[in-house]
Each structure stands twice: as structure tokens, then as C-alpha cells.
A and B are shown apart, each in its own frame.
Chain A
Amino acid sequence: MTIAFSEEAEAKIKEYEKRYPTKRGALIPVLKLAQKEFGYISQDVMRLVAERLGLPESAVINTATFYTMLYKEPVGKFHIQVCTNVSCYLNGSDMIVDAVREKLGINMGETTPDGMFSLEGVQCLAACGNAPAMQVNEDYYESLTPEKVVKIIDELKQKGGDQ
């Protein structure tokens, strides 16, 4: 499959390249941009990034595989990330995880068959003062209760269906 960066992305890449004295400096911002463009970092995407930045493919693979936010496999349209670290645990994060599991019928690390939702347990989101917390794609949800979580998922479903 041949894939290519959009014009918009290409303009951003040029901007990134100016920020660093080395070619590799731009790699992580470009990988993040690629993820936005293509959904996840597939082999093809890694090859494209390597080619575009003039880096060996091994360098791109090396970096891409180190970072958890660079997805090597597709995730749901709404990627639900529940914090399971201590402050959230003390405030009932287990119940939040259970509420999501029950509502969506999936376990940690799984995606719903329609590709709409995926669930993952994550480390501290720096929202401990409003625990328990979770992140869905780019947005934070804090001071959660099981009821709130069910409502949030319903709203997301609506949003997902509308698009």
C-alpha cells in the first residue's frame, strides 16, 4: 500500500525540521503527526517516515517501539484509558474499570467489534487531586463515578454514530 502525508502535514514537518540541528530530532513529532494522519504506526508508516526524514528504518523502528503513545496496532475510535495508579485506586478506580468493562463488554487491552471503543489501564495521569481519572483520546475526565462513566460512554457513542 502506498501512503503519503497530506499537504498540511508536510508543511508541519518542514516546520519541525527547522527546530533541531539533526535530522533525527524531528522524529518523534513527525511520528505523532503520522499517527494523527494514519491512525496508528504501521510498518508502512514507519517506512514512510524513514524515507521522508532520510533516516534508516531501524532508527525509526527503534524509537517508535519505545513509546507507549505511538500505537503499533489500531486502537478504538475512542481509546479509553483509565488510571489504575495509587491515588485513583484509593478513590475506586477498580469500580471505574468494571463499569467500562460491563458497559462495553470488553476487557483491558481489547477493542469492541465495531472498532468504536478500546480500553486500557494507564499509569498516573497527573489528575490525582480529582481521582479517579481517565483519558479518552485527547480529553481528560476527572472525579469519576461508575454512573458518570456510563453517561460519558453513551455520549461518545452518540458522537461516534453521528460522524
Chain B
Amino acid sequence: MNTSQYTPVLLRSRPDRDYKKLDTHLAYGGMRAVRRALRMKPEEVVETVKKASLRGRGGAGFPTGMKWSFVPKRHDKPVYVTVNADEGEPGTFKDRYFLENDPFPVLEGTIITSYAVGCHTAYIYIRGEFFKGIRVMEDAIKQLYKRGYLGKNILGSGFSLDIYVQPGAGAYVCGEETGLLESIEGKPGRPRNKPPFPAVVGLFGGPTIINNVETMADVRLIFDLGAEKFLSMGLPKDGGPKIYGISGHVVKPGLYEAPMGTNLKSLIYDYAGGIRNGKQLKAVIPGGLSTPVLKPDEIDISMDFDSVRAAGSMMGSGGIIVMDEDTCLPEVLKRVTAFYHHESCGQCTPCREGTSWMDRIMDKIIAGKGEKGDIDQMLRVAKQIMGKTICALGDAAAMPVIGFLTKYREEFEAYIENGGCSH
């Protein structure tokens, strides 16, 4: 397959252009999308995004235009927009790229979104570790204010908007949309019960739209290229391009932009150059750590939200982790259980106790003290978490455990038997 036919429109960075400067952005079509959107009625903006079949890139793939239309027409509290730049799902590294290298498309998307839903204060919630991304974003916002793209009466349209950078402080669960809202309010980032959904009661009690960084860049693209063009770059129910991050044992790890629905096998072998050192493939996590693992004979699938689900996993964030034949899967699973145990916010018993229990069993197995019943015990614990928690972190912790233990059961049994991996 020829991967060079496609010209990236999202990953447009090149060493000779500093897209962190507004002038550079303007020289290459910058702010055109904002101008166009501000000439439309807010409802038309929403309709355009619906027509483009954009689905949120934060993990769940929820239709963006539909989400926006949940904001009630009448409300007595201000409407807010928050951009989710908390990127913490292991295996995911696409949003950091925008924050550090190309902030304006994200900000254009934020302006357009705010205009569409009647918001005058937006927050970009940036993961605390991203010091550079925070600095670049703050500077980009400053540049926009200076040139009249933010503040009062933007470009004479009568629409006013303030955008603030909100730094996180180290908690994966704040990437969950309601945990994020709690965090902006200055509280511990413990997710809220839903309903009410944030579009109705969100930040400081006002209707709130939460969208991912890449989603915002896509919103800009829709108004830059037109909804039809955007739609044609993906699938009828899942429009646009997608950024896939490929890491692990591949020849060329990195970010790849490709049409939504590009074949997973092709992404690994054609785009990322296949498995390193001529090794065989053992396992693929298709969309960030929480998405169930796929075996080598399961990866000839289209990478879009519906197809990966049909294959028994999820596209999630599009962060693909590739493991070769020498990988010790119990060691990998130990990293998985440690992560969710560490990140559980603790307010639901099944998640708090379950993640801790699974991690303790993995500790025991890795220490060479595993017992025969451990695998079934972990599966029971994982299944007890599923569907019984306030936020999706619980399921996210359980699904990869179930995936690894059922698909690679023999390897885990052998590890317990021998007290380690054979190679």
C-alpha cells in the first residue's frame, strides 16, 4: 500500500514553519474557519458539524454536533466550554503534539464551539505535567487577544469570548469529563454521578460542553475545508481524518494521520514499518491501555469507532501499542493493574477494592508466588467491577484484565507454573 498519497491536514508541522506564531498560522489559512463560522447562525454551525459526522476523539466517539445540541435553549447560568487536554491514557500522545507545536487550530475550534453553544468563558484543561504545552497555549491565547480574535466583540461580530488555560495537578481521573469539571472548580477530581449530564448541569452549575483537543482541531477543519470534504475524508457515520499514535515494538513509532477507518494491520505494517528486528507480532492494544488486547489474527480491521467495537475492543484514543513475540505479557498486565490501582479516585467500592485486589494478585504472580486459582479470581474481580461504578475508569480497569487473561490464558498459566516468562 502507498501511504504517501494522503497529505496530512492535522499533523502539518514542519521544521521550517513555526506554527506557534500567529503570523505563520495566518499565512497558511489560519483563522479562516473562525471567520466563516462567525458569519453563520449558531444553529447553522451545529448543523454543519452534524453534517460532517464528527465523533469525539477523546475516546468514546460520541457525535460532537449532537452533544452540542443538548445544551438547553433556555438557561439561567452561563454556558461553558472546556477543552479536554488532560491526555493521560497510556499509549496516547497526540494531544500533546498540538499543545506544544500547533495550538491555533485547537483554539479556533474552541472559538467556533463556544460561538455555537453561546459560551463566553472557555477553559483549556491541560495536564499538569505538560509545562511546555501550558506555556505555548498561554502564549497563543495572548497573541489572539492582541489581534482581536479573542475578548470583546471578536472581529466585529458582536460575539465575545475569554479563553483561560487551566493547569491540572496530577490525576488521570481528571480526564474523565466530570472529574475535570470538579478540578476546575478547585476540588478533588472525583467524577460526578450522571445524570444530570454536563451539557445540562456542568461547570459551576452551568450547561457545559467538554471536547477533546483533537476534536477541536477537527471542528476547525470542518469550517476550513467544508463539511462535505471533511466527511469524505472518513466514513459516512464517522467523518474526517484520524491521528493514530503507534508505539511499542514497531520500526517507526510515532503519530500518523490517516483517513478514519484505515486498516489496523496496515497502520502497523505500512505506516509504522512493521515489527522491529524481524520479530513476529504477539499482541496489539488498539486504542489506549483500557481497550482490550487483540491477537495477531484479529487486526485486519478498520480503525473506526464502530468496527473496533464489533471486533470486541475499542478504538478509544487511537493509541496503538504493539508487542512482539518476546513480550512477557504478565509483566505488561502488571503495569496495567498498577496504573488503575494508582489512579482510582476511590469513591466507588467496586473500583477502589477491585483495582487494588487485581494489582495485589499481579504482584504475587510476578513475585513467582502465583497460584492456580489466581487467574479465575482476577476474572471474577474484574467482572464485579464492570458496570457498577460512577465513571468509566472502573470498566477501563476491568476490560484489559479480562482481555489479557482470556486471550492469553496459557501464557499466564505457564508463568504461574514456572514463576516467570520462559524467554
Contact = CB atoms under 8 A, between A and B. Distances in A.
Q: Are A and B associated in one complex?
A: yes
Interface of A: 19-22, 24-29, 31-32, 59, 62-63, 65-70, 84-87, 89-91, 123-131, 135, 138-140
Interface stretch (B35-43, B92-100, B103-111): B92-100
B314 interface: no
A30 B125 CA distance: 15
Interface residues of B, number: 55
Contact of A24 (B91, B130, B187, B338): B187
A126 B336 contact: no
A70 B41 CA distance: 44
Contact of B171 (A26, A68, A84): A68
Contacts of B159: none
A82 to B, nearest CB: 13
B350 interface: no
A129 B204 contact: no
Nearest to B93: A126
A27 B186 contact: yes
A126 B127 contact: yes
A123 B90 contact: yes
Interface stretch (B23-31, B65-73, B233-241, B242-250): B242-250
B170 A62 contact: no
11 contacts: A22-B186, A24-B187, A85-B289, A86-B285, A89-B331, A90-B321, A123-B88, A126-B87, A126-B130, A128-B93, A128-B248
Interface of B: 78, 87-93, 95-96, 127-132, 164, 166-172, 183-190, 204, 245-249, 253-255, 285, 289, 319, 321, 323, 327, 331-332, 335-336, 338-339, 342-343
A115 B338 CA distance: 28
Given A68-B171, A84-B338, A87-B247, 19 more contacts: A22-B204, A24-B186, A24-B187, A25-B184, A25-B204, A28-B169, A31-B169, A59-B186, A66-B188, A70-B170, A85-B90, A85-B289, A86-B285, A87-B90, A90-B323, A124-B90, A128-B247, A129-B246, A131-B247
A21 B90 contact: no
A19 B78 CA distance: 13
A69 B91 contact: no
A63 B88 contact: no
A66 B338 CA distance: 18
- The 10 lowest CB-CB distance pairs between A and B, nearest first, are A69-B170, A27-B186, A66-B188, A67-B169, A124-B90, A68-B170, A24-B186, A128-B247, A138-B131, A87-B247
